[in-house]
């Protein structure tokens, strides 16, 4: 099977490439970062697919600067909305399958029970709006040969993440203030990569899937667990509120996703976030 990974230089793209490298020997895998493939340029997208002739395209490229998107929504929309549409159109021409990565921020964040895959979207941020545009474009162009994978609170071996930030702050500060009014699902990118590859190999699996580690925790509680796992005193983490941190984009107070669709294809939901975090910290050195 021939695979093409966009955004291969990013946090999730790295783990998808790593997962495929450890997989079947007959897989052919090409990873392209932004310098080698700008998904906002239709001609570049068509040329890349013509050159590499993938059976499956995994789109890990995206405009992920959530706060910057508030002031630069047209730019974010070109990457998160138009880019996936160009990929879907090229995949349709070449009869390739497309796995597209999205976010929990397509939802309002006001719920109190986990968001099902078919819950009506209602994004409250520019980032969420642009990612929803990409989802809709992919599903409209490739309704029978695409899957959208929503994830949240991602951490991994490279790139920026809340986990990495907490480890860096632990080394520099006596105490760290962390919000205790945002509930979500810390998710190891390696676990998401495993599900992306699974979907790529299952042509009957179409539509929206939620790929987050199971369970839920506030950012404050997560920071305490990170400190504990790296041998630091969790008491150095102090709770605060979102109002204490002024940011252009309001973070969802509730970012918990349900996982019902995995059972439809005979797969269990992703494992608990604590187990995944423990393994991620043991496998990857994230200290600055």
Respond yes or no: is residue 254 known to be catalytic: no
Q: What are phi and psi of 123, to 5 degrees?
A: -65, 145
Q: DSSP character for 25? A: T
Q: Look up residue 275 and give its two tokens.
A: 């187990």
Beta-carbon-side half-sphere exposure of residue 189 (alpha carbons within 13 Å): 26
Q: How many CB atoms lie within 10 A of CB 275?
A: 15
How far CA 91 is from CA of 29, 38, 52, in Å, comes to 16, 16, 12
Q: Write down the catalytic residue from 63, 115, 127, 220.
A: 127
Task: Calculate the CA 234 to chain-centre distance.
Answer: 27
**Residue 273 main-chain phi, psi, to 5 deg:** -60, -35
Strand partners of residue 184: 217, 255
Instruction: List the catalytic residues.
Output: 127
């Amino acid at each position: 099977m021939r695979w093409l990974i966009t955004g291969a230089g990013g946090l999730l793209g790295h783990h998808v490439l790593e997962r495929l490298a450890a997989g079947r020997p007959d897989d052919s895998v090409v990873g392209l970062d932004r310098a080698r493939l700008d998904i906002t340029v239709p001609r570049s997208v068509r040329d890349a697919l013509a050159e590499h002739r993938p059976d499956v395209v995994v789109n890990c490229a995206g405009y992920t600067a959530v706060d910057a998107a508030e002031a630069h929504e047209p730019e974010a929309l070109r990457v998160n909305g138009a880019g996936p549409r160009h990929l879907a159109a090229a995949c349709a021409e070449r009869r390739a399958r497309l796995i597209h990565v999205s976010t929990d921020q397509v939802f309002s964040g006001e719920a109190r029970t986990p968001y099902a895959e078919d819950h009506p979207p209602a994004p409250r941020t520019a980032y969420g709006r642009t990612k929803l545009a990409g989802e809709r474009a992919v599903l409209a162009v490739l309704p029978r040969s695409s899957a959208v994978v929503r994830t949240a609170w991602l951490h991994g071996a490279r790139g920026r993440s809340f986990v990495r930030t907490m480890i860096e702050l632990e080394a520099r500060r006596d105490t760290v203030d962390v919000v205790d009014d945002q509930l979500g699902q810390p998710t190891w990118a390696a676990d998401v990569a495993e599900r992306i590859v699974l979907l790529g190999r299952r042509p009957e699996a179409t539509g929206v899937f939620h790929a987050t580690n199971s369970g839920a925790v506030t950012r404050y509680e997560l920071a305490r667990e990170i400190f504990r796992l790296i041998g630091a005193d969790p008491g150095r983490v102090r709770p605060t509120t979102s109002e204490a941190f002024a940011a252009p984009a309001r973070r969802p107070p509730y970012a918990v996703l349900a996982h019902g669709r995995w059972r439809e294809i005979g797969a269990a939901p992703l494992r608990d976030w604590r187990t995944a975090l423990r393994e991620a910290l043991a496998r990857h050195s994230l200290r600055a």
